[in-house]
Amino acid sequence: MSLRVTEYTVSSERIAEPLKLALVADLHNGPYEACLPVLAAADAILILGDLVDRHRRGFANALRFLKDAPDCAPTFYAIGNHEWKFKEREAYWPRVLQSRVTVLDNEWMPFRGLALGALSSAPRPNPGFLPEMARQKGFRLLMCHQPEYFGRYVAAHAIDLTLSGHAHGGQVQLFGRGLYAPGQGLFPRLTNGFYQDGRLLVSRGMTNSARAPRLNNPRELVLLRLQPDTGR
């Protein structure tokens, strides 16, 4: 199954300048070289978690991605559940911290007019930074690997847009609805596209780490365009 590029556009008066963001979700140590031209055309690359695969050994492709991505654009990394549960975490994570990628772990930072943050997929997430992030004047953009965290931790805060993966598009799509997603179970509600009145965007993910095949559910690299809305 081929990888497709899915493009979305979001406009807001709080967006200071047009930006193209490449959303890399659920790469799971898979190949990525075919995506490099798209990444090179982006203003930033946002890794939405699960760059590694906790069910398999090795992280060579993940390390290569951490080396190649910053050559394309500034790269930011949110921590997914596979990073937390990765059996080789002690060998892998120091290499991440030595890379040129910016890790955001339950924190936010300014980036080109954005308030860019990440809520990590820890066993007990720490959303304590969200009230401060929500008070910022710029567009508040949050990376949060697991979409089911939105309702529990994010919805009550003035975060403009949350970016997630994790659901793998529901693995099998039947009549426009996913069959199963981790964290959501059978017939999950949050699998791909926009939800929560446009406040949550979920990627289908870039690989298939499950033993079951993906059906009617193409792998995707999401290209998000942020546009200023002047009200004219």
Task: State CA 176 to chain mean position distance.
Answer: 22
Cα gap 92→222, rounded to integer Å: 26
Position 210 scores a pLDDT of 66
Burial level of 90, CB count in 10 A (0-12/13-18/19+)?
A: exposed
- pLDDT digits (tens), the chain, 232 positions: 478 999 999 999 999 999 999 999 999 999 999 999 999 999 999 999 999 999 899 999 999 999 999 999 999 999 999 999 999 999 999 999 999 999 999 999 999 999 999 999 987 889 999 999 999 999 999 999 999 999 999 999 999 999 999 988 888 888 778 888 888 888 889 999 999 999 999 999 998 766 667 877 889 999 999 999 976 5
Task: State CA 157 to chain mean position distance.
Answer: 19
- Pairing verdict, β 114-119 and 139-144: parallel
Cα gap 161→141, rounded to integer Å: 5
Which amino acid, one-letter code, is at 73? A
H or E element at residue 116: strand 114-119
Angle between helices 60-72 and 89-98 (to 10 degrees): 10
Q: What is the gyration radius of the CA atoms in the chain, in angstroms?
A: 16
Long-range contacts of 36-40 (CB under 8 A, 24+ apart): 36/68, 36/72, 38/5, 38/221, 38/223, 39/69, 39/72, 39/73, 40/72, 40/73
Position 224 scores a pLDDT of 98
